[in-house]
A and B are shown apart, each in its own frame.
Chain A
């Protein structure tokens, strides 16, 4: 019986040009969104692959002819990166506003990380049209356009009572009629996502979870439309009310939440970190060497016996004040890191009030493009930089003879994910 109802409503839908237009548009938008994402991920991967090659060649070139450990460390750059996940095509998320690649060397690290707080600032204005944006913000509008006047249009055509009287019950009419539209919309959105997931090699579990998010979001918006459209009002009044609700849930609530969260969680500017560290490093040139070596030895007691600086310039002093620059900036860095994580946690709670934010965040999490993932990448860079220091200090501080052959053992950045 239920299947027969659906078959009837599918036939009915096939004659509804308005609904078919919106469904076709959904499919086209989904194809465009995943195509943009797949292209962007491919380009980022190509960029990474090229930079890995160029970085190795450049480092080999820079190390050639060096005669001491300090110079070798100074001129050798190391490429670090956060590769896009296989599902990143669906949600570029924070990769658009947070750096996903850094080329670092043995100098003070934090300035290298915070050289630019924001990349692709243009995306901050327009946003990226990826699948997450489509599913979170555009799909609710398409669903509203498909469902808002199911009842109201029949009422205004004086057909409502006739239809319900013929059907016997509302359930056997409106439910299959709406479900066919919702299911059609879900399918037309998800098929391009599934195909792109296959092409990108995304895991079945992640794709399944993404499917669940889309279906869940559609169900929530369907419920909202259903509740509003029960009001006996004209189609235009219903549409205006639903668009108003969409504006409130998709724009106003997230904007207000963001404002409240940012006010309650002040965050130091990346530029402040950069400035503090650079000033520390620059000041060190004019300070007595003791002023650098003392705080350095406090954190690196293993090099105490080599802390005496005899000449005007020694590489170990130079790298010590780079390290001290990082140490000085560390509280601010930690404050910055914690505040970002705190804001992210609170944004997660606030997202419960906005289906749009919830979907966007859920997709970013699945794609590994959320704030937590980007902070994790920064931590990986710090770990790698610590490895570099751990490689160089035992050669530099005891002033071991330079042996270029040992440079083959230089740490290489390997992303964890």
Chain B
């Protein structure tokens, strides 16, 4: 069976620097795969190659079995992407943002569906008609997640999704991500939040200076990850 996401011997060289070096992994349908690594390990670059923003120097990137390079629009249509800073428009309300981005994604949603999504991410009703510039980071993140929910794409890419969130918001977010995966969505998240990743992911991959140095099932995380993860992060100063 074709994996929704697959990196096949992926290499990426930018301005003479090796960013990714022979990285291979697959993410199965309904699976949450977390890529862990220090700053500059190549995590975000991996996501950007799946979205077609960076062209691999070697290997291939496949979304639903199709090479991203051959049809980037098709790949993007299957993916909802949540960047690190949920970069919605501050001068627009949550409703207006969702309306704009859903339209941009060529997706129609009724007001009831939008409210249901906002309800699911627990964004307060009274906040929904306020401009996002008055939102906390967590509220903005919730709005962006609601967008991802409404888009109903089979794949979700998350870039440092819990960065800057308070512990309660992180817990809520993890619950939501798990629920999405249970609903069949394939999720690839990159993070440097070791414990968060181990808590939410089915599998964890460790990126060190562009190399995938390990991949572990989350049930083993208590013992294995502590050592391997520390080894991966120890390299970050040299990067």
Contacts and interface: CB of A to CB of B under 8 A. Distances in A.
A339 interface: no
Contact of B79 (A15, A165, A172, A173): A165
A1 B151 CA distance: 18
A15 B100 CA distance: 11
A161 B87 CA distance: 10
A12 interface: yes
Interface stretch (B18-26, B27-35, B102-110, B172-180): B102-110
B52 to A, nearest CB: 8
B83 A158 contact: yes
Given A157-B87, A161-B81, A162-B83, A169 B100 contact: no
Contacts of B73: 168-169
B91 A15 contact: yes
A217 to B, nearest CB: 30
B100 A159 contact: no
Contacts of A167: 76, 104-105
Contacts, number: 61
B198 interface: no
Contact of A165 (B76, B84, B100): B76
A168 B106 contact: yes
A162 B151 CA distance: 14
Interface string B62-82: 000000000011001101111
Nearest to A11: B100
Contacts of B87: 157-159, 162
Contact of B103 (A8, A158, A165): A8
Main secondary structure of the interface of A (DSSP, over half): helix
A173 B104 contact: yes
A168 B105 contact: yes
A17 interface: yes
A166 B51 contact: no
Contacts of A157: 87
A164 interface: yes
Contact of B53 (A1, A12, A161, A173): A161
A157 B53 CA distance: 17
A173 B151 CA distance: 17
Given A12-B100, A161-B48, A166 B83 contact: no
Contacts of A166: 76, 80-81, 101, 104-105, 151
A166 B101 CA distance: 7
A8 B97 CA distance: 11
Given A158-B83, A168-B76, A163 B91 contact: no
Contacts of A4: 103, 106
A169 B82 CA distance: 17
Contact of B100 (A8, A161, A164): A8
Contacts of B84: 158
Contacts of B88: 159
Contacts of A173: 104
B81 A162 contact: yes
B85 interface: yes
Interface in A338-360: none
Given A1-B106, A166-B80, A173-B104, 8 more contacts: A157-B87, A159-B83, A161-B51, A165-B76, A166-B76, A166-B81, A166-B104, A166-B105
19 contacts: A4-B103, A12-B100, A15-B91, A15-B96, A17-B91, A158-B85, A158-B87, A159-B88, A161-B48, A161-B81, A161-B83, A162-B83, A163-B104, A165-B51, A165-B81, A166-B81, A166-B101, A166-B151, A168-B73
Interface of B: 48, 51, 53, 72-73, 76-77, 79-85, 87-89, 91-92, 96, 99-101, 103-106, 151
